Each structure stands twice: as C-alpha cells, then as structure tokens.
Amino acid sequence: MTIAITGATGQLGRLVIAKLKAKLPASEIVALVRDPAKAADLGVTARAADYTKPAQLAEALKGVDKLLLISSSEVGQRATQHQNVIDAAKQAGVKLIAYTSILHADSTPLGLAVEHRATEAALKAAGIPYVLLRNGWYTENYTAAIAGAVPNGGIVGAAGDGKISAASRADYAEAAVAVLTGNGHENKIYELAGDTAFTMADLAAEVSKQTGKSIAYSNMPEAAYADLLKSFGLPDAFASLLAESDTGTSKGGLFNDSRTLSKLIGRPTTPLSTVVATVLKG
C-alpha cells in the first residue's frame, strides 16, 4: 500500500506526514512536493510533483494507491492545477483521492469555495473513489491577530458576530490520516469543523483573559477592512479575499456543529484557548 501526499512541504502536509509515520512504515508513504530540496527532513521518499506540470505529476503518481490532494495555495489557479493532479491520478490508476475542500463547499457564501466546487466536480467526473474533507477554518488563521492584539490595542475584522467553528491544523491533519488509513470512506463528504464555535469578540475575550489586558474586537465594513489590510502591505487581491471571507463568516459560512471532525479523530478538537496560549508563548 502506497499513500502519497501532495503539498507535503506545506504546514498541513508536514503534519499529515508526521502523523502517518506514527501509524505506517515510512516505506509506504510518499511526499509529493514542488521542491524536493525542501523535503529532505520529512523522512520519507519525496517525488517532484508541481501542480502545473502534468508529465511530472504522472511520473510522481506511479504506483500510488491512495492520494491526499492538499489544495494548492495559488488561489485563482487552483481549479486547473487540481484537475492536472486528478488527470494524472487517473492515468496512474490511483484507487482513492482524499481532497481538502472547504466547509459547506456547495452552499457557503465564501468566494474561496468556487475553486473547491470545481475540484469536487472534477473528482466526481473522474470516476475515482474520492473523499471530500471539507475543512473549516484553521484556528491558526488568527495567529497574527492574536500575536498583534496587545501591541495593536485590539483585534479588527469584518466578521461581525459570525460563529467560527475553527479547529487546529493538527486536528484536520489527523482527520486526513484517519481517512487514508481507515476503511469505508469512499465517496463520503465530511464537513469538518471545531467542536466549539467562537466569534471574533470571543477571540478578543480569550486574549484578554490570557494576557490580563483589555482587548476589544472592532468590526469594520468589508471595504474598509480590505483597505486596512492593503495598508499593511498585503497584496490587493489577497486583502480583498480575506475581507470577503470575513463577510461570509458574518453570514454563518464558517459555522458547523456536526462534530464530524472530533468523531473522525476520536477526541475533542483543539480548543481556542490552547491555540491562543501557544501563540502568546511565541
């Protein structure tokens, strides 16, 4: 049995590789990476697999039984890139593809979901058994906000009082490992989210509690928040995307109380307080 992970030198990919190594012999794990030089420390075989290079992908996927396709970070190019991976997997006879999609991909107001919907459709069209890991937000998305809360005197955003069922990257990595090493997950769709939702005001309250400082959350209109992020030096498109995602969050796009994630990993998801404490420790 050979299990391959794309994006294996990314933050989620590295956690998946580490957790897989705890369950399986390293000889059964293949890291598919854009830059093999960055994979030397992974402790498993690494093969070059750039999402933009179909011939390289076909070579890299030879002999692979199960594949975790970690969605690309190159927003705007992802549907084409993921299609390249799916085509190569079909050519190579891969028997199962698990894909890291977005929470409620079919109904979410978040614009980020467009490319995920395209990839989900491509997976279904390919006829390869698939598993859709519809991941909610990483709590670590708030790392900069938590770290900057005291020096900046507060936390800002445009998420209103939207409830955010976030979980840690490690929780989502463990779910991927459970699916890749378990049975009976073919053609299942998992809406994965944290056990306990929080609002941005709750996040500020947790930072206040742990720092002993008074930290408030200030909500802004989407356009003003995008402008603020741009003024910090974020590229225009990325700033707009983050602000638009906050609006989607305010509409409930990141809320889910199914507890599917904790059922899949067999333990509660990582609480907000733990992630805040880790960030504050530095």
Ligand X SMILES: NC(=O)c1ccc[n+]([C@@H]2O[C@H](COP(=O)([O-])OP(=O)(O)OC[C@H]3O[C@@H](n4cnc5c(N)ncnc54)[C@H](OP(=O)(O)O)[C@@H]3O)[C@@H](O)[C@H]2O)c1
**Which range of residues in 132-140, 185-193, 239-247, 262-270 is near ligand X by CB under 6 A?**
132-140
CB atoms within 10 A of CB 129: 16
The answer to whether residue 100 forms part of the interface with ligand X (CB under 6 A) is yes
76 binds ligand X (CB under 6 A): no
The answer to whether 135 contacts ligand X (rule: CB under 6 A) is yes
Q: Which is nearer to ligand X, 10 or 194 (CB)?
A: 10
- 256 is an interface residue for ligand X by CB under 6 A: no
Beta-bridge partners for 5:
31, 68
Q: Does residue 168 interact with ligand X by CB under 6 A?
A: no
DSSP conformational letter for 77: S
Is residue 52 part of the contact set for ligand X (CB under 6 A)? yes
| Binding segment toward ligand X, per CB under 6 A, in 18-26, 118-126, 130-138, 239-247 | 130-138
122 Cβ contact partners less than 8 Å away, ≥ 6 residues apart: 79, 82, 83, 86
215, 207 in Cβ contact below 8 A?
A: yes
Q: How far is the CB of 237 from ligand X (least distance, A)?
A: 15
Structure tokens at 201: 């005001």
Q: Report if residue 71 touches ligand X, rule: CB under 6 A.
A: yes
Nearest C-alpha neighbor of 72 from the set 82, 61, 87: 82
Q: Which stretch binds ligand X (CB under 6 A): 69-77, 118-126, 187-195, 239-247?
A: 69-77
Q: Could you tell me the sign of the dihedral formed by the alpha carbons of 132, 136, 137, 138, in that order?
A: negative
* Residue 51 makes contact with ligand X by CB under 6 A: yes
Residue 143 makes contact with ligand X by CB under 6 A: no
Place of tokens 């697999």: 49
Q: Which one of residues 43, 73, 125, 186 is an interface residue with ligand X (CB under 6 A)? A: 73
- Tell me which residue has its CB nearest to ligand X: 10
Q: According to the binding rule CB under 6 A, does residue 162 interact with ligand X?
A: no
C-alpha 119/C-alpha 159 separation (Å) is: 27
Among 99, 130, 138, 225, binds ligand X (CB under 6 A): 138
Question: Contact, 103 vs 148, CB < 8 A?
Answer: no
26 to 45, contacts with ligand X by CB under 6 A? Answer: 34-35, 38
- Whether 77 and 215 have beta carbons less than 8 Å apart is answered as no
Backbone angles phi, psi at 5, to 5 degrees: -125, 120
Dihedral over alpha carbons 35, 118, 134, 178 (to 10 degrees):
-60
Site size toward ligand X, by CB under 6 A? 23
Footprint on this chain of ligand X (rule: CB under 6 A): 7, 9-13, 34-35, 38, 50-52, 70-74, 81, 100, 135, 137-138, 141
